[in-house]
Amino acid sequence: MLDKEFQYYLDNQEKLVKIYNGRTIVIAGEKVVGDYNNSEEAYLASKEKFELGTFLIQKCTPGDEDYTQYFYTPRVTFA
């Protein structure tokens, strides 16, 4: 689900950052179809144009910080 769109972003990230750095972009298929100030604007505009689940909303920045999440769990010790 949206693998093609995310792979397009990864493959073209350097070029996209030169154009859209700091903006939130919308990718449908293998094409940027919009750029916005934030993800809320991107979502509201895109849901009117595209079927939900057919577009990717991605903050366009260098590196992997804006598409990588880390989850930490507390260590539990049993006596």
Q: At which residue do the structure tokens 């507390």 appear? A: 74
Q: pLDDT tens, position by position, for the chain (79 residues)? A: 799 999 999 999 999 999 999 999 999 999 999 999 999 999 999 999 999 999 999 999 999 988 886 666 676 666 6
Q: What kind and span of H or E run contains 9? A: helix 3-20
CA angle 37–38–42, rounded 5-degree value: 95
Using the structure block, give the residue that is written with the tokens 């750029």: 35
Indicate the domain borders of the chain: 3-67
pTM metric for this prediction: 0.83
